[in-house]
Structure formats: structure tokens, C-alpha cells
Chain A
Amino acid sequence: MPDQSSHQIRVINRNQSFECAEDQVLLVGMERHSAAAISVGCRGGGCGVCKIRILAGEYETKRMSKAHISEAEQQRGYALACRVFPRTDLEIESDHYRAPESSYQQAAVTLSAVKQ
């Protein structure tokens, strides 16, 4: 019998799922299962890298950076996976973070192009 306090998290866009306990945030639950369905950043609600949209299910959140999740977005189900506690099974969509391209990243692209 499945643990009552653990919920199934389905990551629709990556076609993956993992179990997450009620007292765990989604990102930690995912990392504990060695899954790679959500990008991992600071794990503290600050950087925005693990931005997801929750399509179905109930959940609670801890405070998240307003720079990445506005109140309007929060109402539309956007959240940072490192701050979301599941209360039921969830259906989510990951990869909602859009990173600005830095010179370092450009250098990395140049570098890999040279190596190939």
C-alpha cells in the first residue's frame, strides 16, 4: 500500500514521474530519486531555474522570489519546485525558466564548437 503522506508527481513535458513526501519540496523529492525532470538551481526559491507550472492537484508553497514568480503567475499555477510541498498527486510542467545568455555561456558554445 502506498504511503498516505507521499504523492505521485507527473512531469508531463518530460514524460517522467517521481514520488514526493508531503514534508518534502518537489525538487528535493526528485533529487532523492535521482530523477532529472526539473532543472536544479539554488534550491532556495531565489534563482528561478526550477520554475514549473502546476496543472492539476493541490499544494502549498513557501515564499518565492517575486523576480521569478509574480502574484499573477502564482495564481496561474506557476511556482519554483524547490518551494512546493505536494498535498495530493500533482501534474506539472517543468522547463519554464528562460535564462539570459551570458558571455560565459557564449564562450562555452564557442569552445565546444572548436572542440568538435
Chain B
Amino acid sequence: MRKGVMRPGHIQIRVLDVEEALKHYRDLIGLIEVERDSQGRVYLKGWTEVDKFSVVLREADEPGMDFVGYKVLDNQVLERLHAELIGYGCNVEEIPAGELNGCGRRIRFDSPTGHMFEIYAEKEQTGKWGVGNVNPEAWPRGLKGMKATRFDHCLLYGPNIKGTLDLFRDVLGFELAEQVLDPEGTRIAQFLTVGMKAHDVAFIEHPEPGKFHHASFILDTWEDVLRAADLISMEDVSLDIGPTRHGLTHGKTIYFFDPSGNRSEVFCDGDYHYPDHEPVTWQAEQLGKAIFYHDRVLNDRFLTVLT
């Protein structure tokens, strides 16, 4: 049952060098650089996103993900979910408005998989970049690189994904859209949604808590995914795998690494989910095909390389 969480709102990614990272997220993926704050963090967004930012880069000693934030309908929902998260037993922290430039009060909480998440109700809306909201043109001129349209989801690794599913489903109103089950029926991967998308966040069972597999950005077409692959070669960027198609979600995709080793995905298309849909299941015996539908073999690097 939906609980008033609308959509993914932002992700803060740790990088070893902010200037190198900008070449990746701004010049290659094509996000719009919005601004920098007094801590030196850089804010970016995809051009179709109406909120001020969706990606924050923070320079640090250890690459990975600091937190992912989800936007809720309004402050009433924020208050109700704040209380429910405390009642559920999460470690909950209030982050004052303005700690991220242009973002309202955030409620931060931890998960059994060892990741930090946030919900918030307010963020400055600067509108789509380069096009208006009345009689808008199809796309703005001046986009760079892969011309990613928005931040879409992330995949996280950690222990006890069942615990995190319970939290996301029972407290936050996410639904299980797709899953991988082993022969004993244990879930080893789960794709959760708060809307019609095949995933707004995904988890894979893994012994180390708090690990980051990738942040994903959406492109319009398969031709754009191919063109992204061309750019990866032209710029001699570290390629992981692709272009190819997933069995899970059926998205068309390519994976590559930022200069600090955080994995990025750009993709297009894929399955959809309505609240009355049963979860789609892939059997672990078909794991190779579930992950890479064409190769149909397990790729060790894709499964094990994390930040």
C-alpha cells in the first residue's frame, strides 16, 4: 500500500576527486551542474528534472554512497513517516532545512542492509533545464555527452535484504516488483518501486553492509545507449559491461565506472509495475540470463566489484 513516498529525489556519492568526477557526471553522462556549497559539494541534475538537484558529489577518502533521498507528498506525510520510522526501530536523525542547498528538512534513517536513506517533502523547484513549462520544446540545445534525462534508481548490496524489504514495504509503501529466488526460496535480489517503474531502488544480498553497486540514469532510446557506448570508448572510460539487455526489468543498458570506481549505468525502457501486479520472479538457476539476457553467463566483475 502506498504511503505517500513519491519518487527517488537525490543521491550523495563520495568521490576521490571532485573535478575528475565532474568530467564523468557532467561532461560524459551529461548532467547539468547546478552549484557548489560551502562544503565543496557539487550539485547536479538531469535536464528533465524539475527539482533543483538530484546528484550530490562529495570528495572523500573512500568512494561509495552516503545516502539516497526520497521525496514525499507533503510535510504531513513527512511527520507521519518520521514517527513510524522511530516506532519501527530505525536509527532516525533530523537534518535541518538548508543542510543541502535548496532542500527542506530531511529525516534520515538506516536500514538492515547498512545503508542510509532520507525522506523529505520540500526542495526548491527550478524547473526543467533549458525548456519552459508552457508550450515546451522537445529538448534543450547545449546538452553534453550522453544527455541523461534524470537520475532513476540505485542498486545497493548488504546483508538482510529481507529486513530492508520489510522496512521499505511496511513503513514506506514500496512494492516488490521483481526478485531472484534461490532453490530454497530465499530471496537474493529484490527490485522495489513506489510508482510504475520496474525499480526505484534494488538490493542484492551480500555479507558486507552499506555497499554501493551503481547509480542509474535514464536515456530515451536504445540508439542513445549505443551512442553512450561510443562515448565511453572515445573517452577511454573504464567499461564494465554492455551495451546489452537485462533479464531482470528487461532494461537495455551499459555499465561503466566513474574515475573513483563508483559504477554508473545508463539505460532505457524496461518493464512496468502496477500495485495489483504479482512480483516477477527469476530463479537463481537462471541467474546468468536474469542479469545479462544475451550473454546468459554470470559476470564475476559485475557481481562483486563494489564501492
Contact = CB atoms under 8 A, between A and B. Distances in A.
A73 B206 CA distance: 26
A115 to B, nearest CB: 10
Given A63-B16, A103-B188, A104-B188, A45 B206 contact: no
Given A101-B207, A102-B304, A110 B182 contact: yes
B257 A102 contact: no
A103 B207 CA distance: 8
Contacts of B257: 42-44, 46
B87 interface: no
B97 interface: no
A99 B260 CA distance: 19
A44 B261 contact: yes
Contacts, number: 104
B194 interface: no
A104 B204 contact: yes
B37 interface: no
B258 A65 contact: no
B205 interface: yes
Interface string B281-307: 000110110000000001011011111
B144 to A, nearest CB: 21
Contacts of A66: 61-62
Contact of B62 (A43, A65, A110): A65
A63 B287 CA distance: 35
Interface string A80-94: 001000000000000
Interface string A5-40: 000000000000000000000000000000000001
Nearest to A41: B305
Interface residues of A, number: 28
B70 to A, nearest CB: 25
Given A63-B16, A108-B287, A111-B285, A46 B307 contact: yes
A116 B123 CA distance: 55
B28 to A, nearest CB: 13
B142 interface: no
B284 A99 contact: no
A40 B301 contact: yes
B238 A44 contact: yes
B207 A42 contact: no
A110 B298 CA distance: 12
Given A42-B257, A44-B260, A102 B303 contact: yes
Given A102-B157, A103-B188, A44 B259 contact: yes
28 contacts: A41-B261, A42-B238, A43-B238, A44-B16, A44-B257, A44-B259, A45-B63, A45-B260, A46-B257, A46-B260, A46-B262, A46-B307, A47-B305, A47-B306, A65-B63, A67-B64, A101-B207, A102-B157, A102-B206, A102-B207, A104-B205, A104-B303, A105-B304, A111-B284, A111-B285, A111-B288, A111-B298, A114-B285
Interface of A: 40-47, 49, 62-67, 82, 99-105, 107-108, 110-111, 114
Given A46-B16, A102-B206, 20 more contacts: A42-B238, A43-B261, A44-B238, A44-B258, A45-B260, A45-B261, A46-B63, A46-B257, A62-B16, A66-B61, A67-B62, A100-B206, A103-B182, A104-B189, A105-B300, A105-B303, A107-B188, A108-B298, A108-B303, A110-B284
Interface of B: 16-17, 61-64, 157, 182-183, 186, 188-189, 204-208, 238, 257-263, 284-285, 287-288, 298, 300-301, 303-307
